[in-house]
Amino acid sequence: MRFILYINFILFIPFCEKVVGQSKIQEVGVRAPDNVKIDGRTLEWRDDKMQAYNSANDVAYTVSNDDANLYLTVRAPYYIGPAKILYGGLTFMVSHGLERKDREKANNNVAVTFPILTDQVAQDLVMSLISYRGMNKDSSRRVSQHDSLVRVIDKKALKAFTEFRITGIPSLDTLQSIYNETGVKAMATFSRAMTLCIEMAIPLKYLGLSVNDGTKFSYNIKLNGRFFDFASYRSQNTSGIGNSNPTAPQAPQISPDFEFMNSPSDFWGTCVLIKK
């Protein structure tokens, strides 16, 4: 219960970077920049603008393509989005099904989940993120502290973000190193404002898609979070509810932010590949 109360407290830390998107869901194709590179820095995107900002999940993103790959670029601003992704990873799934009943369970869906972290590593990174609180209001005396935190986070991220999971590609259906030779790529870094920036690339050959077909496809972006059995927790902590004795123990409250971070959440969109 101490963990619950502690998390409830820290989740009220305000976001420190605003993300503006043109829509909640990207529904139009976008050609990837010629200089696209999967390094987690997202610097290829002009003016740092993403195609959409999904407010329910607090992520800005762009789905794009060139002749060889489908790309996902994500920016999750401080703090809850990055924490949720660190604990359970972000899954990018591509489906040929366009209707809800078809796309969710289609047998040819391909998905990449990144990053894959142990609970201990995820918790360590989240605790480092918490240290950023208030640093967005930098004064001269805090600049060096901020610089130090950026270096620490960069070092931890480089060590932690080394694996992703592929599902739906029979020959690759397993954990993969970011240094693999399959053509599937993923990387992430933190910005100075502690926005988590993620980039993925999936070769079109694995997706059964081609820029020459003009075929529409569906995509799903899912923030997995860390599983927490809310039903069990509530059933075990309700003995004091409704008791007329003011000193009787009351069930601790679970904040919406905590519930969001520890429950899977996702959204779907449809797109088409763009020729050069």
Given a cut of 60, is residue 245 above it in pLDDT? no
Sequence-ordered alpha helix ranges (H) in 89-200: 100-103, 119-130, 143-160
- Cβ-contact 116, 165 below 8 angstroms: yes
Q: What's the mean per-residue pLDDT of the chain?
A: 85
Span 73-82, mean pLDDT? 94
Residue 8: in which H helix or E strand, if any? helix 2-10
pLDDT digits (tens, 9 = 90+) for 185-208: 999 999 999 999 999 999 999 999
- Cβ-contact 70, 271 below 8 angstroms: no
Q: Would you state the pLDDT for residue 257?
A: 73
Q: Would you state the pLDDT for residue 247?
A: 57
Comparing 240 with 68, which gets the higher pLDDT? 68
pLDDT digits (tens, 9 = 90+) for 212-229: 998 899 999 999 998 665
| Position 48 confidence tier, pLDDT thresholds 50, 70, 90 | confident
Q: Would you state the pLDDT for residue 1?
A: 40
Span 101-120, mean pLDDT? 93
| Position 2 confidence tier, pLDDT thresholds 50, 70, 90 | very low
Q: Would you state the pLDDT for residue 253?
A: 67
Would you state the structure tokens that stand for residue 12, as one six-digit string?
A: 């009220």
Tell me the helices (H) and strands (E) count for the chain, helix number first: 8, 11
The rounded distance, in Å, linking the Cα atoms of 181 and 55 is: 35
Comparing 256 with 52, which gets the higher pLDDT? 52
